[in-house]
A and B are shown apart, each in its own frame.
Chain A
Amino acid sequence: MATTNSRTLARFMLLPSVILLLAWMIVPLCMTLYFSFIDYNLLVPGDKEFVGFLNYEFFLTDPAFFESFFNTLYLVTGVLLITICGGIGLAILLDQAIWGRNYVRIMVLAPFFVMPTVSALVWKNMLMNPVNGLFAHFAIWLGFEPIDFFAQMPLFSIIIIVSWQWLPFAALILLTAIQSLDREQLEAADLDGAGPFSKFFYIVLPHLSRAITAVILIETIFLLSIFAEILVTTSGGPGYSSTNITYLIYTQSLLQFDVGGGSAGGIVAVIIANIVAIFLMRLIGKNLEG
C-alpha cells in the first residue's frame, strides 16, 4: 500500500463505509441538536417553536441533573475501582498453576455473557431481595437485620451489580498482560532481593499499566451509558438517588414525553462523555504509547 495509485484506490474503496458511518452518526446527532432547540412535547401538540437555549437551561438547572451527574461519576469510578483492583487480583490468581485452570478461566468469564437485564434481575430477586434473597438469609443466619439493598444503598447496589458484570472483562485483559511478563525479570528481581510486594509494585504493576489504561478507557465508554441495570432494579430511585445522566434523559424524554428537553440532555451527555474522554486521554493516554 505504498504507491500513490494504490493509496488513491484504497481511499475510494473506503468511501462507501465512511459515508455510511458518517450518516449513521451525523443524522441522529443533527436531529437531536435540532430538537434540543425547539419546544417539542408529545403531550402538547401544536407548533414546535424555536426556544433557543431554554431546554438546556431547564435541564442544567434541574436539581436532578446535578444529582444524576454525580451519580454517573460515582457509578463509573466505583465500578472502575472494583473491576481494576479485583481484576488484578483475579488475574494474578488465574496466572498461578492451579489444577483445572482452563475451566476456572472459562467460568470466570461467564458473567460477561449474561445479559445486563438478566443479571440485574438475578441480583435483585435472588441475592439482594430483603425477604427471599441469599444475602438476607445469610444476615438472618448471622443474627443481623437483613439489608434492603435497593432502598438503603441503591447506587452502591447498582455499582456491585455492574462490577460483577465487568470484572471478568478486566480480569481477562489483565491476565493476558500478566502472561506476557518476562519471567526472567521476576527472577532477576528475586535475586535482587525484592519481596512479593516490591515485585508487585515495581515490576508487575508497571508492566500492567498499558492494559489497565485500555480497560479504563473501554469500560468508561460503556459505564457512562449504564441503563438496563437501573431500569430493572431501582428505576432510578428512591428519588433520584440512583439516576444517572442516561436514565435522567430517559425519564425526561420518554416518561415526560418532553422530546426537546430529552434532546438537550442527550447533547449534554455527549459533551460530558467527550470531556471525560479528553480528560482520560490526557491523564493516562501516554501509557498507550510505545
Chain B
Amino acid sequence: MGSITLKQVTKNFDEVNVIKPLDLEIKDGEFIVFVGPSGCGKSTLLRMIAGLEDTTSGNIEIDGIDATKTPPAKRGLAMVFQSYALYPHMTVRNNIAFPLKRAKVSPAEIESKIANAAKILNLTDYLDRKPGQLSGGQRQRVAIGRAIVRQPSAFLFDEPLSNLDASLRVNMRLEISELHKSLATTMTYVTHDQVEAMTMADRIAVFNAGIIEQVGTPLELYKNPVNKFVAGFIGSPKMNFIDAPQNEDANVSCIGIRPEHITLSTEQGTWAGTVGVIEHLGSESFLHINIEGKGTVTVKADGDCPLKYGDSIYLSAPADKVLKFDNNGLTIR
C-alpha cells in the first residue's frame, strides 16, 4: 500500500507561483524519480507530499484517501533529506529508534527492528557512534535506516546522494535500488542528475519551471521525448540540436540527434565539419565537431578513434533516429 495521487496541486510562496496545477499518479511499489533543473520545484513538491509544506490548492491522496491537510507524522511516509538531518547528539541506535519510541513501540521490538535495519544497511558496528563520527555514506545509511524502521507506505528521497563523492554515489545508487527491490515499497526520489534518474527509475517525471513536461519509463523518455526540453535533459552527453536544413518543410524549426546516433566518415555525409577537442574515456571517445554555419555537435565514437584535432570529417545520421521539433519546441512525429 503506497499509492500517491496528486490532483491539480499548486503551490505559491507568498505571491510567487512555484508549482503550476499538476496531476501525477504514483503507483504502489513504484520507483519514481523527479528530475529537472535547479529551482524547478522538485523539492517543493516532495515536501508537499510529505506534509512539510502547505498545499495552496488541489488535493494529495495517499492510498486513495485525501491527505492534503493531514500532519506529516500521520501520512505514513518517511523522508530522507539531502543534509541527512540526523540528530547529532544521539547515537546511531537512538537516531534509528527515535521514530519508534515516539510511536510507543515496545523496547524489545525496537531492539529487533534496529538490529534488522542495521544488518540490511551494514551499520551493526556503528550503532553506538554519534553521527559526527561517521562518513558521509554511513550517515546516509543511518538516515535510510531511520526511514525504513517505521515501515512507511512510501519513501521520499530529496537528493540523498548529492553530498557524496562520485564512486560512493554509484555504490549507494545500487544499494537504494537493491533496497527498493527487497522492500517493494513506493519510492519517490528527487535528483537533478539524469544518470541517477535513468538508472534507478521505474518511471521518470521531468520537471521544468513548476510543471511536469513528461512522465514515462526511462527508455520512453529517451526514445520519444515529447519536446525539446525533455530531449535535451535526458541522455548523456546531451542531444545535439541543429537548425533545420533548407529542404525540410516549414514546420520544422530544428532537429535533434543524439551523439551516439551520428556516424562519421572521411568521404561523404550530410554535414561537413572539422574535429575540435576529443575527450578520450577509454571505452569511448566524445568528439566535439564544428560544422560550418551550424555550430558544434558532440559525437560519440569508439575508444580508439584515430581522428585528431583539426581533421576534416563528414557526419550523417539515420533518418529514423533524427527528432524534429516545431517552432514551439514540440516533437513532430
Number of B positions contacting A (CB below 8 A): 25
User: B82: shortest Cβ distance to chain A, in Å?
Assistant: 8
Residues of B within 8 A of A191 (CB): 50-52, 72-73, 77-79, 99
CB pair B102–A188 under 8 Å, yes or no, is no
Q: Which residues of B contact A290 (CB under 8 A)?
A: 132
- Main secondary structure, interface of A, reads helix
Whether B85 pairs with A187 at a CB distance below 8 angstroms is yes
Interface residues of A in 28-87 (CB under 8 A from B): none
Determine if B89 is an interface residue (Cβ-Cβ < 8 Å): yes
Determine the distance from Cα of A202 to Cα of B99 in the docked complex, in whole angstroms: 12
Decide yes or no whether A231 CB sits under 8 A from chain B.
no
Against B, the Cβ 8 Å flags (1 = close, 0 = not) of A154-184 are: 0000000000000000000000000000101
Inter-chain residue pair count (beta carbon < 8 A): 63
Q: Which residues of chain A from 184 to 240 have a CB within 8 Å of any chain B CB?
A: 184-185, 187-195, 198, 202-203, 206-207, 209
In contact, B89 and A187 (Cβ under 8 angstroms): no
Q: How distant is A45 from chain B, measured CB to nearest CB, in Å?
A: 63
- Given A187-B52, A188-B79, answer yes or no on A194-B85 (Cβ-Cβ < 8 Å): no
Known: A182-B83, A202-B98. A190 touches B103 (CB 8 A): no
Q: Please determine whether A182 and B98 come into contact, CB atoms closer than 8 angstroms.
A: no
Contacts of B82 in A (CB 8 A): 184
Please state if A190 and B81 are interface contacts (CB–CB under 8 Å). no
Decide: B102 and A194 in contact? CB cutoff 8 A: yes
Query: Contact: B81 with A188, CB < 8 Å?
Result: yes
CA distance A188 to B83 in the complex (A): 11
Asked if B146 is an interface residue, CB under 8 A from chain A, the answer is yes
Known: A188-B85, A203-B87. A193 touches B102 (CB 8 A): yes
Q: Are B87 and A190 in contact (CB under 8 A)?
A: no
Judging by beta carbons under 8 Å apart, are A185 and B98 in contact? no
A191-B79, A209-B89 are known; give 15 further A-B pairs, CB within 8 A.
A182-B83, A184-B81, A184-B83, A187-B81, A190-B51, A191-B78, A191-B99, A192-B146, A193-B73, A193-B102, A193-B103, A194-B98, A198-B102, A202-B90, A202-B98
Q: Report B's interface with A, CB cutoff 8 A.
A: 50-52, 71-73, 77-79, 81-83, 85-90, 98-99, 102-103, 132, 146, 150
